[in-house]
Amino acid sequence: MKVYISATLRNFFGKNESLDVEAANIKAILDYLTDEYPEAKKILFDDSENLRGFVQIYVGEENKSDKSYWKEEIDAGEEVLLLPAIAGGAPVESIISDDRRKAITFDDKEVERFSKHLMLRDIGVKGQKRIKSARVVVVGAGALGSPVIQYLAAAGVGTIKVVDFDEVSLENIQNQILHTSRDIHRPKVASARDKVRNIDRSIQFEDVNLQLTADNIYDVIDGYDLVIDCTDNYKSRYLINDACVLAGIPLIFAAIFQFEGQVGVFNVNNGPCLRCLYPKPPEPGLVPTCSEGGSISPLGGIIGSIAANEALKLIIGIGNHLDGQILVVDSLYLHFRTLNVDKNADCPLCGFAPTITTVEDFDYEDFCGLREDEDEEPIESVEPDELARRIEANEPITFVDVREPHERAVLRFPNAIVIPIGQLARRKNELDKSVDTIFICKQGQRSALAIRTLREAGYDGSMYNLKGGLDEMKGIIFSHEGAWL
């Protein structure tokens, strides 16, 4: 049996893209995998031995994540896919009404500008008028948002709102093609506004420089026809999904990680939502985000272009789309898979008896594991400036680096012990309880998970988390040789 491992999980399976497993059913496959790769058990199963909600198991194109399928015999020729969150469509009518389409007119310049669309039988004048009358929200102006925003503008979408709260940094330039070196330290939405104006000044563009919350998301998406999720964190994804379902707005989901991407269409014609596919996100730090794990430069363009294409098909009302499906693209091994997503009758948001009726009543911090348990001992942190002072004073400190090898190759932390999170419990005796131990990662999330892991394993030494991770240490200058990192 050929078992394919999604890119997000490969570090737990010896970096293998696929494994040949001699097994007749899913249970036997999972037993083999967790015996052969013990560190994978924690990411696949929770403490109650249940499959985690952010992991899905597909046999061929069918979702077999429910335990009731696990003892069914699988044909030897079938392919099994372990698919984590990173997080058959049929043609439908346009999401733009005929009344709005008929109210649109073109001048001679627009006829010339959109001539390649007007010549296409499936688009023509009616389709292009629908594009011009469409109102689309793009959340995220990074690697995914870059191609989405530019292709929507080039296609002639009449109103585009871009939401992002971040500024352009040098490391963004590699794969966020919306921005250039001149945009560094500018808000990403300002850079997006300039690019759209350079494409077509007649487009109604709204730049919204804020972080989405339950309090503001309704105002952000109200009155729009379509939302495209180009974010890079789980809290935003579930917040956007829930708001779109409750507001009755279709959602296009796009995600990337390293060499793999996913695209899906949710909330169309009473179809499934994100929670139907992934009932729960992974715990913080368990799976790195795109910003932590990186991605190859063209991947955002590949997945973002597909997302923009799905958006235009929904606006025009043509072709097959990914409603009820998710497209998984592995750019490293050139695998493209379209998997079915069933609507979950028990979904707390879009099922037959929903329990989530408003985003304000739902605690996304708690749901995504971002809120600390009041009964749990708080994790002590050390500020980057304070750590710099202690390093300068040559204080005895043990540093534990829990980052991936490729991250350490880019930025090395001197004199650190390298221990992956999955090995911490069995290697705790390597730590010296007589000195402070400071855990480091890129942004401070995985290192916090490392401290919790050691506490559960019974380690009672003094442990601190580097607040903000190494991202917050980059600008600190040390007295010797200009810099320490």
Pairing of strands 2-5, 18-20: antiparallel
Residue 441 is among the residues annotated as catalytic for this protein: yes
Of 244, 273, 276, 441, the catalytic one is 441
Residue 276 is among the residues annotated as catalytic for this protein: no
**Residue 475 has which token pair?**
């600008």
Of 273, 290, 347, 368, the catalytic one is 290
What letter represents residue 136's amino acid?
A: V
Tell me the catalytic residues.
Answer: 290, 441
